[in-house]
Amino acid sequence: MDQKSHPEAVYQQLASDIASRIAEGNYQIGDKIFARSSLASQYQVSPETARRAICVLSELGIVEAVKGSGVTVKSRENALIFISRRRDAKTISHLKNSILEKIEKQLRETTELKEQVEMLVDMTERFRAINPFIPFEITLEEGLPSLGKKISQLSFWQATSATVVAIKKNNDRLILSPGGETLLAEGDVLYFVGDENSNSRVKDFLRTLRKQNSLDS
């Protein structure tokens, strides 16, 4: 018996061991088993631990302890019930600990993921600041008033401070440095460069055009 265990765990373990022997038929009903002193010696536990183990078994009706007469086996059925309940309690405890461990692991992973996302956002912002010519892109949707118009007619740069550097047409043809005479069509992908706020300004600019188009129609 592990002497380093918590005192309560030791006496419960001792009671469980004795009950298991009774349940397995090593002790028969009416058999006298150890006195507390010899029980403590055999299992290498303190007399108090042995006393508490016998008290547990006695309260459950598994044994009967009579002062001066030792400990007598009283019920194998109660021993079986005790072992079954103890096994169920261990299973529940194991499941609880397993669930808590998984929750803690998930929380750790969530925290790590949050830190990595923050790091990615920070690195992306710094990278874009260092490399301002990495283009943004936006697809021209159906209904935009810019469709069918030339780039020069939109006053794109004046309104957004962004410069269109390329246009990918529906046939996947890429036009680099498109001139002002280039016509815009639905599904075109505009690549443009500017400061970190250019992307939102272009989106707002196109939304404004959409609203204005609705008012004019």
**Angle 52-58-64 from CA coordinates, rounded to 5°:** 120
Task: Indicate the average pLDDT of the chain.
Answer: 80
The whole-number pLDDT of residue 72 equals 86
144-161 burial code (b ≥16 CB/10 A, e <16) = bbbeeeebeebebeeebe
What residue spans in the chain does CATH classification 1.10.10.10 cover? 7-81
The whole-number pLDDT of residue 2 equals 45
Quickly name the fold that domain 7-81 has: Arc Repressor Mutant, subunit A (1.10.10)
Largest CA distance in the chain: 113
Whether pLDDT at 140 is above 60: yes
pLDDT average, residue stretch 209-217? 48
- Does the predicted model carry a pTM greater than 0.85? no
What residue spans in the chain does CATH classification 3.30.70.1450 cover? 136-216
Instruction: Give pLDDT tens digits for 47-88.
Output: 888 888 888 898 889 888 877 777 888 898 888 888 888 877
Whether pLDDT at 106 is above 70: yes
| CA-to-CA dists, residue 23 to 18, 26, 66, 77, 89, angstroms | 9, 8, 21, 7, 18
Pair 35, 46: CB distance under 8 Å = no
DSSP state, residue 205? H
Domain 136-216: assigned CATH number: 3.30.70.1450
